[in-house]
Structure 1
């Protein structure tokens, strides 16, 4: 495992920090700006729209042209949009800035996913390091944001602009060296398997919807249902995201031993009892424990889905990453307004009751997955369609 995979993991952490800051700031928009649940979930929708819709098209461009600079430009835009949102005066401006932040995320993931796969090769463990970078970013968001937001309110989002500028500079500096190192390398080519790839995309959408649901409403669940403090609610979100990091890393190692398809199915099944236990538990310690276990279970398939998607589309690694790592993840936020309506009528506890059934759909779709065909590394061999 080379140092370059750790660089991409770090860049992924910074990029997804801004995705994680959206749900981390929602309770403060609700409590400080008096946004309704629906209005707050609309901010999640803005981030999801910006990051989901453009991703497949950006992935296609990344496959056709050498656009490695997109990763640097994307993380810079993600940081600037989110950082300025807390300084905006009205809801339309906040919504628009978060939309732009999501667009930056859309620019980052296909280029970064393609570059990371070039470095990782066929190692799911190495890809899990890259994917775990995103989980680390989501984890750091509430850890870093909660004390700042408690102290200074939502304008504190401006404090998170510098990391984006710094990592963008680092990526741009390394872009030329990366071009020189990969020039003339053989391309991964083979028959594209679209049917299992579509099933895999459906699994990622379901997984993402469950992840975004927990990520968006866990703090409000702690505050409104468990009657906990804001600080403990932030800790609950952090614990959930720590579990996500561990689950992502564990998923890569499990897949290298028992296979990618079985790992995806295992993660879907494991999430159901964990979500039920979280919804039914009370007190202080038990909910935190199950929040961590939910994070583990939901993220076991994460890196596996990214690598498996690129194995299904061996000649289109940017497109595959744009869908599985980008669109499939971000599109889960499109369900946030529906969950917001459920929260409006039944409270955050109603959202968690709904989420208990979501992994069953992912497990059913997992039964449609097949093992990827053999992949060749001959630049002259054209890709075909299934």
Structure 2
């Protein structure tokens, strides 16, 4: 499941990685380039909670390989479309594919993890590795062959579909059904869930805004051309590989909300340094920003699932989808402001958003976690739960 997640989330990172090439080869403005990011996010943000609600009612493991193929096909076609409108359309198809994948995948991973924060961190790590590899993959294909070589980007989708199909055949799909059996335990806490979602939206706007423009910004502020920009984007994504696993381990020791709040506080200082400090020091602040944004990533998902124990699919769809994808809705605003003023001016407001997220999280309490309650019940209960799963 983790490897399949990596193959699917390559296509979330690939859209932002393609932005500099659209600007260079097609002379897109900042606003037009950010519109491509919006196209990948808009439908995804709308339909992902819908897929979550559907998976709350029916098991759809077949959706995993199908959605992987759809996510890859859209990005693969984006470089060979003949118009801006067609580019937006195929990127939107990719966004829908990614949206369809996450709720059922998160449910299956949660069932397989038996409620372990660390295990969910490994699942989330797969997605973050996909993000991190996206700039390297796009650079290897498009920097050498131009946008016309983009059909080669479908390869991870084919691999991901095969991995997802293998996971379904080996019983992971059944694990998703087993996850349904645990629902109905406890009461849905919608106020806390909505506050958590608001914080995730703040994080999302920062992450997507930087994903779309940090490559261009570093070129301006640190020099070094395409190599410098690609390196900065890789640092932003690669930090997630460490941050996501670290977040799960830290949560086991200090508690999820404590870790999440401190990560948001770190993000305020890190984003400020990235935007305001010039020169090579920018790379340090890119790394710190990555840590601050990624440490709480998997914890957002398990917190959301525990705040809505009766609607795990819906919670997964929102925390992995709507709240995350909303950052793409803000990207055109950042791009338009950059066109009207400067890219630095457009990025300055991102400093305040992690602080707002911290305020939203400050009054939350740790929810009950039914998935983690089972081990404390003793060996007979563990066996019965394993049989039911």
TM-score (norm 2): 0.91
User: Who is 1:271 aligned against?
Assistant: 267
Residue matched to 1:332: 327
Specify which of 129, 147, 168 is matched with residue 154 of structure 1.
147
Question: Per the alignment, do residues 184 and 296 of structure 1 end up closer, same or farther by CA in structure 2, a change over 3 Å counting?
Answer: closer
What is the rounded CA distance, in whole Å, between the counterparts of 2:178 and 2:97 in structure 1?
Answer: 29
Q: Distance in 2 between matches of 1:341 and 1:184?
A: 47
Match of 2:288 in 1: 293
Following the alignment from structure 1 to structure 2, what is the Cα–Cα distance between the partners of residues 326 and 358?
19
Q: Which residue of 1 aligns with 2:218?
A: 222
Residue 72 of structure 1, aligned match among 65, 79, 102? 65
Tell me whether 1:244 sits opposite 2:237 in the alignment. Answer: no
Decide whether the 8 Å contact of 2:65 with 2:165 is kept in 1. Answer: yes
Which residue matches 2:348?
353
Q: Shift of residue 170 of structure 1?
A: 2.8
Aligned partner of residue 356 in structure 1, secondary structure: helix
1:307 aligns with 2:296: no
Cα deviation per residue 1:181-222 (whole Å; 9 max; x = unaligned)?
A: 666674242211111000111111110110001111001102
Shift of 1:169: 2.5
Say if 2:110 is the partner of 1:117.
yes
* Correspondences of 1:80-159 after superposition (within 5 Å): 80-159=73-152
In 2, the alpha carbon distance for the partners of 1:342 and 1:181 equals 47
Cα distance between partner residues in 2 of 1:115 and 1:373? 20
Relative to its length, the structure with more helix (as a share) is: 2
Residue 4 of structure 2 is aligned to residue 11 of structure 1: yes
Structure 2 vs 1, CA of residues 170 and 12 (structure 1 numbering), >3 Å: closer, same or farther?
closer
Distance 1:181 1:19, change over 3 A: closer
Deviates more, 1:167-176 or 1:257-266: 167-176
* Root mean square deviation of aligned Cα: 1.7
Structure-1-length-normalised TM-score: 0.92
Unaligned runs of 5+ in 1: 1-7, 379-386
In 2, the alpha carbon distance for the partners of 1:335 and 1:85 equals: 21
Q: Gaps spanning 5+ residues in structure 2: where?
A: 375-380, 382-389
Q: Which residue of 2 aligns with 1:175?
A: 168
CA 1:164–1:374: 2 relative to 1, 3 Å: closer
Task: Give, in angstroms, the shift of residue 172 of structure 1.
Answer: 2.1
Deviates more, 1:180-189 or 1:243-252: 180-189
